[in-house]
Amino acid sequence: MKNQLLFYFLMACTVFSCSENASISTQADDFFHLEEEGAYLPLWVRGNTASGKILLYVQGGPGLNTLDMAIVDYLGWEETLEKDYAVAYYDQRGTGNAQGDFDWESVSLDQYIKDLRKMVQLLRDQYPNNEIYLLGHSFGGWLTYLYALEYQGNTQIEGIIAANAPFTTDNNEIRWKFRHEFLVNISQEFVEQGKDTEFWSEALQWTQDHPEIIDIEEKRQWNRYVIRGLEEYQVEVPLSAGKIIKGVFFSSYNIFPSLLDVERLDKVADRLFEDEKGIDVLSQVNEINLPILLITGRYDDIAPPEEFNFAFDQIGSSQKELKILPDAGHDSFLNQPELFREAVRGFVED
C-alpha cells in the first residue's frame, strides 16, 4: 500500500513536470534537459526546425549565461536567424540555470567539451533529419575548435561557425604579435581617415616605440589604447521593462543563481582560464578538417582579423570561409546583424 502510494505520487510528479517532444516546425519551441555528471543542463531549441538545420549556440565568456539572453532575445535572432534555421541554446555547467548537485571539479574544459558532445548527440537523437552546426562566440568559438580537434573524424556535426573566437589565449605569446599588428593597422587607418587623429597618432607612435609587446606594462598600455579607441564598437542592447518582467516572472528562468550570483560566474571563468593554460589551438588548426566559417569584426580587439588571417591559412579544411565584418567589434552579430546573417546563410546553404 505504502509503495503504491509512492508510485502514484511519483507518477503525478512526472506528469506534473510536463514532457515535451521535439517538433518539426517553422516556429519550434522545445525544451530539454541533459543529465550529465550530476548536472541538469537546460537546452532550448527555438525557430525553424523544418529547415533541417540547427545551429547549436556555444556561449562565450567564459562563465556567461545563455538562456536568459535567449529569453529576452538579446542577440536579436528571433526575427532573423531563427526564421532561417533553428537555434539551440544551452546553459553551460556552472552558469545560468544549470541545475543539480555537481562539484567544482566538473567545471573544466574537458567536461565542457563532453557536455557539448552530448548536446550534439541529444539534438541528433531528437531531430534525426536535421544537420547540426556549432555556432560559438568568443570563448565558445574557441571551445568549438577544441571540439573539432577532440572528435576528429567523428564530429557528428556538419560544420562550425566561429564568431569572434580567437585561436590564441593569453598564455600564447604569439597572440601579442597579432595584437601589435592590429594596433598598427587600425591606428594607420584611423589617422588616414582623420578620425581622432591625435589619439591614433599617439597609438601609432607607441607601436613604433614598442615593436614587440612583451611585458605586463606594454600589455596594459595596448589594452588602454584599444579600450578607449574602440569604445564605439561595444554594444549594449537596451532591454525594455516588459522583457525584463517577462524574463524574471513569466519565463522558465530563475534569476537568482544566474544573474544575482556574479561571484560564482567569475569563479567559473577563473577555473576555465586556468584550464586554458598549456593549450595551443593555433598550432593544431591544420588538423581541423570540417567545414568552417570564421567571422570577426574589423575592430575586434579580442579576435583581431590579423590573427584570423593567419589562422585561416593554416586550417586544414578545404571548405573554409573567412568574413571580416566592417564597422564591427567583438559582438559582430550585434554591430552588423544583417551581414552576419548573410554570412551564416551563405555558409550553411553551400
Whether omega for the bond prior to residue 62 falls within 30 degrees of 0, making it cis, is: yes
Q: How far is the CB of 11 from another protein (least distance, A)?
A: 9
For 97, which DSSP code? T
The pattern of x and - marking residues 135 through 174 that bind another protein according to CB under 8 A reads ---------------------x------------------
Q: Which residue number, 91 or 300, has a Cβ lying nearer to another protein?
A: 91
Site string for another protein, 106-135 (x = CB under 8 A): ------------x--xx--xx---------
Interaction with another protein in 35-54: which residues (CB under 8 A)?
A: 35-36, 40, 42
Binding of another protein by 194 (CB under 8 A)? no
Beta bridge partners of 8: none
Contacts 24+ apart (CB under 8 A), 250-253: 251/71, 252/31, 252/42, 252/67, 252/71, 252/97, 253/67, 253/68, 253/71, 253/96, 253/97
Residues 329 and 234: their CA atoms lie apart, in Å, by 6
Q: How far apart are CA 44 and CA 52, in angstroms?
A: 16
Among 23, 99, 152, 289, binds another protein (CB under 8 A): 99
Q: Which of 14, 25, 26, 319 binds another protein (CB under 8 A)?
A: 14
Q: Where are the alpha helices (DSSP H) in the chain?
A: 2-17, 67-71, 81-84, 109-126, 139-150, 174-193, 197-209, 216-229, 241-249, 255-259, 262-276, 305-314, 332-335, 337-349
**Least distance (Å) between residue 101 CB and another protein:** 5
Minimum gap (Å) between residue 10 Cβ and another protein: 6
Stretch that binds another protein, among 32-40, 138-146, 188-196, 225-233 (CB under 8 A): 32-40
Applying CB under 8 A, the residues found at the interface with another protein are 10, 13-14, 16-20, 31-36, 40, 42, 94, 97-104, 118, 121-122, 125-126, 156, 248-250, 252-254, 256-257, 260, 264, 267
